Structure 1
Amino acid sequence: MLLALHDTYTNVVAQYGNPTPEAPPAADKVMKLGRYFTWFTMLSGVTAITYGGGRFAWEKWSGGHIESPKMVAGAMLGGVTATSAGTIMNTIVGS
Structure 2
Amino acid sequence: MTTASAVGETLTVLAQEIRITPTEPPGAPQLLNLVNYLSWLVMLAGIASLIYAGGKFGWERFHGGAVESPKIILGALVGGIIATGAGGIMNAVVTGGA
Deviation at 1:9, TM superposition (A): 3.7
CA distance in 2, matches of 1:8, 1:63: 72
Q: Deviations over 1:27-64 (max 9, x none)?
A: 00000000000000000000000110011011111223
CA distance in 1, matches of 2:86, 2:14: 36
CA distance in 2, matches of 1:68, 1:8: 60
Give the number of aligned pairs.
91
CA distance in 2, matches of 1:25, 1:56: 48
After superposition, the Cα gap between the structure-2 partners of 1:34 and 1:5, relative to the gap in structure 1 and judged at 3 Å, is same
Q: Could you state the TM-score of these two structures normalised by the residue count of structure 1?
A: 0.79
Partner residue in 2 for 1:3: 8
CA distance in 2, matches of 1:8, 1:84: 38
Q: Could you state the TM-score of these two structures normalised by the residue count of structure 2?
A: 0.77
Deviation at 1:93, TM superposition (A): 4.2
Deviation at 1:3, TM superposition (A): 2.6
Partner residue in 1 for 2:28: 27
Gaps of 5+ in 1: none
Gaps of 5+ in 2: 1-5
Poorly superposed stretches of 4+, deviation over 6 Å: none
1:16-95 pair list within 5 angstroms = 18-95=19-96
After superposition, the Cα gap between the structure-2 partners of 1:64 and 1:9, relative to the gap in structure 1 and judged at 3 Å, is closer
Deviates more, 1:84-93 or 1:54-63: 84-93
Greater helix content: 1
